[in-house]
Amino acid sequence: MPYRVTFVCTGNICRSPMAEWIVRHHVEEAGLDVEVDSSGTDGWHVGEGADHRTVRTLTRAGYRVAHRARQFEPSWFDRYDLIIAMDRGHRRALRAMAPDAEALGKIRLLREFDPAAGDDLDVPDPYYGGRADFEHVRELIEAAVPGLLEEIRNALKDR
């Protein structure tokens, strides 16, 4: 059974799909048995594709993307090994949905995996910004990838 990781933001059209496709690329390159996907805390964009600026940012950086937005459901806690919130607000929303302590233990912030992040653990929402804001989000996600891959490798060893 593969290790399962999901990324969660608000509408599942900017930050979480960007994290999904960046991390998916890196776990595939590393040959890890990991399934990666994403969702949102809210259902505003369910069924829509990723924001066109997210798609362009990923494409420019050499990542592929194919996405349909969906909303995180409390019943999904059982299906994931790691649930990664993009900011503290998403973490708060996920914690409110968590049915038990085991589920709470699966919730992490993405930037916790970036040792250079310090106390700045939120990935900012680029939705109301421009190209530079989307590129900044990509850079923050990429900075967390090595630490996240180490976490996943350690978890896979323990299986």
Q: Give the catalytic positions in this structure.
A: 9, 15, 125
d(CA 127, CA 51): 8
Taking residue 21's Cβ as centre, other Cβ atoms within 10 Å add up to 25
SS (H, E, C) 98-136: CCCHHHHCCEEEHHHHCHHHCCCCCCCCCCCCCHHHHHH
